[in-house]
Structure 1
């Protein structure tokens, strides 16, 4: 067994197709098909079940994939550690974050990182649903993920980056726009969100961490919101709130970087405020090269 063999099988499983895997691996389809046939013959098992042009994993294939990922993860840890020992200057960093955070996270952190590590490649996986991010880390697709992690995966470790306050965005022309109170510890004027129970709400989808947070908030406050629109874009929701189309939510970190010509009023909400934890998440007991740790420090300084 060699590492190329593992990568070939993983690519076929991921793409569910020989032709797509061949394109991804930059080899010919006949060569990849022959390679798979020889592998299955040598192992005396079928890794895939062929249904038309689809390649579906058998039970044996599922077990193969599980160990293949683990073997490649261990190899990567070894390669990273050796690279760190030799010169600590070459490597690759794969980062996952939500597509909501990427517009400010990438431009604010990558130039600083590349200035320090010009020969370390950095790649971003931007997901529309934050709830997929822990899976990317668990599977070894990325080294770290940055999101509002719920700390419920025994295979992962996390490091707190920031306690983020959740703010309510309201049009400057809203009847309650000037009703906020200054409360110590709140970033914005505070208001009782129950006063907006009859307003239209613009919210995110619940497969996004922001939408999940909003749903939890409504449940805790026993509010059944009148949802006028669902969107995956926090900026879209804020812009609509600024125009008086409804009210919406956002984390303070996002508000730090969003640039709007027509700005809404922001309120702190809760008792006295709603906070969520922003984490950097990585696989438990894995080796983190120095450049990964330095990138995490850059993120901490930025947000």
Structure 2
């Protein structure tokens, strides 16, 4: 079977369009149309229904796509293994993380990685919705994703990077700013979050992992927050809290590399603190090149 054939059909299915797929594949639209016509004639079955300019998968097309992804995933595993056998310094690394983490994760890890593997191509996917990251790994679109994974997918392997503490972010001008207590086991001064029940909260959206964790905290502690603003940016929440617009939440690695002139107070909360696990997530049965594991080790040192 021609692997190019699989890639062509996948591109058409992805774009639902011959013209868009042709642009993505850097070939002419007539060439791609002819290629698909010949393929369907040889298979004696239609892979797509034509609805105007839209190409919709038939049932046969859906089965073709499922098998094509499996075949290309096996081919990639073999290619990666051959890269390692022939020359450890060559390959392709596809990484994904949330857009919240990318501002510090990319500059803190990629330069270090490229010093070791200058000839490994690196692609970084930044997702606005953390819940999409496991799908990218499962589908083979990325080699590894860095995020707070909480599901149980038998297809995926999780490597613990760090237990991250979830902190409450408060302005230094807040009336409760100096009421934190030093408690053993907490990385920051501890405070009872219920004292802030009447405060305005800056929160993330619940389709983000950070927003999901915030909602879980409120639910567990029986707090109905007064939400003054929702944002997808953790840094925005930190900066607004620092200027006393409200209070927000942040994982400790989110502000580890922040450089604010007006630094807020970070409090441990919970009994005695609340943590979440940060993982490197990759496919369980996929071949893991040495350079992927080396990248994971770099992330461990950074976070």
Q: TM-score, normalised by structure 1?
A: 0.98
**Distance (Å, rounded) in 2 between the aligned partners of 1:246 and 1:44:** 64
Residue 77 (structure 2) pairs with residue 77 (structure 1): yes
**Distance (Å, rounded) in 1 between the aligned partners of 2:207 and 2:151:** 17
Q: Alignment partner of 2:112: what SS?
A: helix
> How many residues align structurally?
303
CA contact (8 A) 1:170 1:177 kept: yes
Query: Which residue is equivalent to 1:65?
Result: 65
Query: Which residue is equivalent to 1:183?
Result: 183
**Distance (Å, rounded) in 2 between the aligned partners of 1:23 and 1:199:** 52
| Pairing 1:32-51 to 2, within 5 Å after superposition | 32-51=32-51
Q: TM-score, normalised by structure 2?
A: 0.98
**Distance (Å, rounded) in 2 between the aligned partners of 1:91 and 1:291:** 8
Residue 15 (structure 2) pairs with residue 19 (structure 1): no
Query: Which residue is equivalent to 1:229?
Result: 229
CA shift at 1:151, angstroms?
3.2
Residue 104 (structure 2) pairs with residue 100 (structure 1): no
Q: Alignment partner of 1:267: what SS?
A: strand
Deviation string, structure 1 residues 103-160 (Cα, Å, up to 9, x no partner): 1101111111111111111110000110000000111110000000113222111100
**Distance (Å, rounded) in 2 between the aligned partners of 1:132 and 1:233:** 17
| Pairing 1:167-178 to 2, within 5 Å after superposition | 167-178=167-178
Residue 207 (structure 2) pairs with residue 207 (structure 1): yes
Pairwise CA RMSD of aligned residues? Answer: 0.8
Query: Which residue is equivalent to 1:272?
Result: 272
**Distance (Å, rounded) in 1 between the aligned partners of 2:223 and 2:42:** 62
Which 5+ residue runs of structure 1 have no aligned equivalent? none
Which 5+ residue runs of structure 2 have no aligned equivalent? none
Moved more, 55-64 or 207-216: 55-64
**Distance (Å, rounded) in 2 between the aligned partners of 1:211 and 1:36:** 44
CA contact (8 A) 1:13 1:55 kept: yes
CA contact (8 A) 1:95 1:125 kept: yes
**Distance (Å, rounded) in 1 between the aligned partners of 2:42 and 2:85:** 38
Query: Which residue is equivalent to 1:113?
Result: 113
CA contact (8 A) 1:203 1:237 kept: yes
- Which consecutive aligned stretches of 4+ in structure 1 deviate over 6 angstroms post-superposition? none
**Distance (Å, rounded) in 2 between the aligned partners of 1:155 and 1:58:** 27
